[in-house]
Structures are given as C-alpha cells and as structure tokens.
Amino acid sequence: MYLGFGYYYTYLTLCIIVMSLLKPEKQNDAITLSDRYLRDIRQQMLTLFETDKTVIDFGCGGGEFLKLLEPHVRYAIGIDRSFPKNSYAYDKDLRCGKNITFIKKVITRDISIDFNFEIATSTLFLHTVPRPTTLQLMALMREKARKAILCELTHPANLYSNMLLSIDQFFTGHKANFEEFKAKGCMEGLLYECGIKEYRIIPTKDKSLNFYCIDFEY
C-alpha cells in the first residue's frame, strides 16, 4: 500500500538504520546500498543537465552522480569532507585521465572556491549542514554559477512521511540541522530566505524529493 511517502526514501531509511548497526569496515556496503536506491533519481536528474558544461557538486559523497555525468560535461569538481572507500571518488585509478576532480574539504569550515562554474548542484545535502552554512552555500552558488540544479527534501506529504523522515534523520549526525531545515519550510523556505523567487520545481518519483532548477544572473 502506497502511503504518500516515496519508496526510495523508505529504502534509504532502512539503509541508514542498517549502517548504524554495522561495524565501520562494513558500512561501505550500506552506503553502496543507499546509492543503489538513488539510482533512478540520479538518472532523472541527469536529463536536466545540458551537455558540455562545467559543473560543481557540493556534498558529492562517493561521486556516483558525477560518474554518470562524466561523459556529458566539459569538466566537473566534486566536493565533500570524505569519500567512502572503494567509491568512484575514492579510487584514483577509476578517474585516471577523466574530466572529473574530487576535492576533500569540510564545507562548514571552508566554503570558498576560486573559480566559476556554469552549473552548481547537490543531492540531499543542504538539509545536512547548519543553516548559516546552507545560506552561505546558496550565496556562493549564486555568485559562482550561472544556474543551480538541486535535489532536496520538500514538505512531507503526511504524518507517515514525516515519521519516516524523522526516523531516518535520527540515525544520522545531522538530525538538528534537518529539524531546522524542516521547521523553516524545507527547500521552499530556504529559497524564500535567500530571496530566490524564480525557480522551477520538477517532481521526482519520490514525493518527498523535488528537483529545484534556478537560473542566476551571472
């Protein structure tokens, strides 16, 4: 029975619960499982990108989306605080000679970048960092990119959706950031706070997630 909450995030909830119970050396298996259930979301997101563009991906995780994007971009950089072992971002041999670069950086400590990009992107990342960092990151995207394509949480469809989201976030280290993100209106509230009024919302197969396409003045 479908209760208004997408099956992707239900699976992610179970993955995170499993990951919290695993020994550290086995947690990469759970991360891989999470990536597997985000695969359709990433494939849909891929269709939103024009070819031969420069891209920066904030909170890129294991680099799975950039791996999909690699044949279609001129150049791309993925940024995250760490990369899961044996992931695309972690294994340099997998990236040899390709147009993707990964930078290890704790965004909450150092949010600066010294170059411009045509497209800034992130997937389920903005709700995981403190609100001041999220606002700084949105300002940085506005300054350094022509447009942003973001996949983020929208308002839970019902109490069941809200309960599953809360359970999911309980097993992460960013529950307080998520609660503030939700209390301030999820992604729509963040865009309003940033003064961004013009954007496109593209639904995903999961009712808890939307794509947000924003054209910045460059």
Write out the DSSP string of 137-172. Answer: HHHHHHHHEEEEEEEEE---SSHHHHHHHHHHHHTS
% of the chain exceeding 90 in pLDDT: 48
* pLDDT greater than 90 at residue 93: no
Kindly report whether the global pTM for this prediction surpasses the value 0.85.
Answer: no
Contact 31, 84 (CB under 8 A): yes
Of residues 31 and 1, which shows the higher confidence score? 31
Report how far residue 73's alpha carbon sits from residue 56's, in angstroms, rounded to the nearest whole number: 11
> What is the sign, positive or negative, of the torsion defined by CA atoms of 84, 135, 141, 36?
positive
Average pLDDT over residues 150-178: 74
Tokens of 174: 């960013």
In this prediction, residue 120 carries a pLDDT of 97
Alpha-carbon distance values, 22 to 29, 31, 97, 166, 167 (Å): 9, 11, 35, 21, 17
Average pLDDT over residues 145-174: 76
pLDDT-wise least confident of 95-109, 158-172, 192-206: 158-172
Report how far residue 211's alpha carbon sits from residue 207's, in angstroms, rounded to the nearest whole number: 11
* pLDDT greater than 70 at residue 160: no
Q: Percent helix, strand and coil across the chain, each rounded to 5?
A: 45, 20, 35
Report how far residue 127's alpha carbon sits from residue 144's, in angstroms, rounded to the nearest whole number: 21
* pLDDT greater than 70 at residue 161: no
**Per-residue confidence at 96, pLDDT binned at 50, 70, 90?**
low
Q: Where are the domains of the chain?
A: 7-24+52-215
Report how far residue 102's alpha carbon sits from residue 35's, in angstroms, rounded to the nearest whole number: 18
Outline where the chain has alpha helix (H): 7-21, 27-37, 39-46, 64-69, 92-95, 131-144, 159-170, 175-183, 186-193
In DSSP terms, which residues pair with 56 in a beta bridge?
77, 120
User: What does residue 75 show for φ and ψ, rounded to 5 degrees?
Assistant: -160, 145
In this prediction, residue 174 carries a pLDDT of 83
Hey, what CATH topology would domain 7-24+52-215 get?
A: Rossmann fold (3.40.50)
pLDDT, tens digit (0-9, with 9 covering 90-100), for 100-113:
999 998 887 888 88
* pLDDT greater than 70 at residue 15: no
Report how far residue 57's alpha carbon sits from residue 87's, in angstroms, rounded to the nearest whole number: 16
In this prediction, residue 168 carries a pLDDT of 65
| Averaged confidence pLDDT in the chain | 81
